[in-house]
Amino acid sequence: MAKLHRLVSVVLRLVAAVTAAAAAIIMVTSRETTSLFGLEIEANFFVVAYAVACVYSLLVILVPPGGAASRLVVMADVAVGRNGNEHAGWLPICEQVHGYCNQVMGALIAGFVALVVYFLIIMHSLHAVTDTMCPCH
């Protein structure tokens, strides 16, 4: 079962990487610009985002799950989101919207706690249902 799960995960990530690479190539080859409120706008962000998505998908496939390297990949992902990337032109989200990071972190913690509580509720309900069905008690 674990091998099937890994195989499905690898196939889905490969499909995602290929489609993200295709999207990046399509965006690079398009030369359309537009003017909005007097500003010339190009969709360069999408090229970088698709390229990062492609590389990230391939990196996750190559890094074995559960190891120290996979934890480093997740930590790097979080660090880029929190601190930005000057080379890609991504500004740190925490500097742009004050209080956003702490609020989102609180929401994620609360959501994780809710997930654990719902899991416990399901386990308790499952135990209660199986106790009533089993005449062995």
**pLDDT per residue as tens digits for the range 88-105:** 676 676 666 667 677 777
Rg of the chain over all Cα atoms, to the nearest angstrom: 22
Q: Do 121 and 56 have their domain in common?
A: no
Mean pLDDT of 32-41: 67
Q: Do 22 and 56 have their domain in common?
A: yes
Beta strands in 20-112 (DSSP E): 34-36, 39-41
Number of domains in the chain: 2
Q: Do 29 and 40 have their domain in common?
A: yes
- Per the structure, the complete domain to which residue 135 belongs is given by 98-137
d(CA 124, CA 126): 5
pTM of the model as a whole: 0.47
Q: Is the pLDDT assigned to residue 65 strictly greater than 60?
A: yes
CB of 16 closer than 8 Å to CB of 22 = no
CB of 137 closer than 8 Å to CB of 131 = yes
Q: Is the pLDDT assigned to residue 21 strictly greater than 70?
A: yes
* Closest alpha carbon to 116 in 105, 108, 128: 108
Q: Do 25 and 86 have their domain in common?
A: yes
Q: Do 15 and 63 have their domain in common?
A: yes
